[in-house]
Amino acid sequence: MSELPEEWGDGTRSVRAGEEAPVPGAPLRPSPVFAAPFHLGDRPPRADGADAYARTEHPTLRAFEAAVGELDGGRCLSFATGMAAITAALMACASAGDRVVLPADGYYTTRLLGRDELDRLGLRVEYVPTPAIEGLAARGELRGARLVMLETPSNPQLDVCDVAAVAEATRDAGALLAVDNTTATPLGQRPLALGADLTIGADTKALTGHSDLLLGHVSTTDDAVYARLKSWRDHTGATPGPFEAWLGHRSMATLDLRLTRQAENARAVAELLAAHPRVTGVRWPWRPEDPSFPLASRQMARPVGVVSAVLPDEAAVARLVAASRLWAAATSFGGLHSTLDRRAQWGGDDVPPGFVRFSCGIEDTTDVVTDLATALDAALGGP
């Protein structure tokens, strides 16, 4: 559980999370430890908590996990990628014959995992759109499930699901609730405080936010779930490298600052897109016109930097990219650079050919909006 004072703000918590008491002569930030084996000496392995082998225990990972866990409000385990974290949550907590409910409109590789691996291993996987999972919960139709996963806001369509309502239903059904919190980050939403059993992050994206790492994590307040996840990680070897964990911890210090600028840019970008006559389907849950606005305003602590919209076709998106100086075509999201991704090109999302996910970076808002407006005019014509 978090050891940071509750009165501290997001910026202070981002900088100080995971820190030990200061030691004179020691660096402000712990340095990465690279050794895989550790000296055992003449004592039994792991005597008095001593580290023995880096796949199962590592000081650099513990520092990163302490930082993330303090922000999440639980005990954290780090993984080599976000998909490794999702895989651990699903496969460590469910077995052959168990009913598992996954979002039909979330990150498409989660669905591929279900189709190609979970089905093969005998799990009974159901795919339900994010808004409809609330309906299952309300009607008591989660009974018989072992694990329910939400992704909220969903990626890429940005629907928001009522975590507390689904958590109550999963508890009543004797199931576990896992929430993919990648888009929101722990500063935007704390699923464990809303009743979820696990919160998952693809830390490759906004949490570390520099587009130069692969990392993931799972946090929980349940000691039995934590032990099961750690056993899974120890046995499968999904442990991140120490340098990646150290870079992740370093990058988290600016999380509050990055999210604030990204949200400012997203607000302006959403309004620009919504005002253009040839752009449709604009989604950003903090616009009052968005169907998720009431719930996002109540459930989440801050906006995210991701906006989605639909351009007329694939060619229009290509013209937009060619005309822009600041918006690069790239997948992933949550980084320092403003990027856009035509999601239909990957074949995993049920979206139109011109559907675009905009990930707002931390450039000056005026520059981001001016460049996008110019590119839109070149791609689609002016108002």
* CATH, residue 236: 3.40.640.10
| Contact assessment for residue 65 and residue 93, using Cβ atoms and an 8 Å cutoff | no
Residues 6+ apart with CB under 8 A from 207: 68, 182, 185, 186, 201, 215, 248, 251, 252, 255, 334
Based on the fold, state whether residues 291 and 239 are members of the same structural domain: no
Based on the fold, state whether residues 41 and 82 are members of the same structural domain: yes
Q: Pick from 159, 114, 172: which is nearest to 133 by CA?
A: 159
CA separation for the pair 377, 383 (Å, rounded): 8
Based on the fold, state whether residues 275 and 239 are members of the same structural domain: no
Domain stop point among 209, 226, 252:
252
Judge whether 4 lies within some domain.
Answer: no
Range of the domain at 264: 255-380
Residue ranges of the alpha helices (H) in 208-285?
223-236, 242-252, 255-275
Q: Pick from 76, 62, 57: which is nearest to 2 by CA?
A: 76
pLDDT score, position 382: 64
Place of tokens 């989605």: 308
Based on the fold, state whether residues 290 and 353 are members of the same structural domain: yes
CA atoms within 13 A on the CB side of 275: 13
Domain stop point among 222, 252, 282:
252
Based on the fold, state whether residues 87 and 219 are members of the same structural domain: yes
Based on the fold, state whether residues 87 and 182 are members of the same structural domain: yes
Judge whether 2 lies within some domain.
Answer: no
Give 211: exposed, middle or buried? Use CB within 10 Å, 0-12, 13-18, 19+. Answer: middle
Domain stop point among 228, 252, 276:
252
Q: Pick from 226, 186, 177, 179: which is nearest to 205 by CA?
A: 186
Residues 6+ apart with CB under 8 A from 84: 216, 238
Q: What values do phi and psi take at 200, rounded to 5?
A: -120, 145
Judge whether 211 lies within some domain.
Answer: yes
pLDDT score, position 1: 40
Judge whether 340 lies within some domain.
Answer: yes
- pLDDT, block means (10 residues), the chain with 383 residues: 79 91 81 84 87 90 96 98 98 96 95 95 96 92 96 96 97 97 98 98 98 97 98 96 96 97 98 97 98 97 98 98 97 96 94 98 98 97 68
Judge whether 178 lies within some domain.
Answer: yes
Judge whether 300 lies within some domain.
Answer: yes
Based on the fold, state whether residues 235 and 281 are members of the same structural domain: no
What are the C-alpha distances in Å from 108 to residues 86, 114, 377?
12, 10, 32
pLDDT score, position 5: 87
Q: What values do phi and psi take at 266, rounded to 5?
A: -65, -40
Judge whether 3 lies within some domain.
Answer: no
Based on the fold, state whether residues 28 and 160 are members of the same structural domain: yes
Based on the fold, state whether residues 99 and 162 are members of the same structural domain: yes
Which residues is 99 bridged to in the sheet? 124, 145
Based on the fold, state whether residues 242 and 146 are members of the same structural domain: yes
Residue type, 74: G
Number of domains in the chain: 2
Based on the fold, state whether residues 187 and 266 are members of the same structural domain: no
CA separation for the pair 209, 339 (Å, rounded): 13
pLDDT score, position 2: 46
Based on the fold, state whether residues 276 and 232 are members of the same structural domain: no
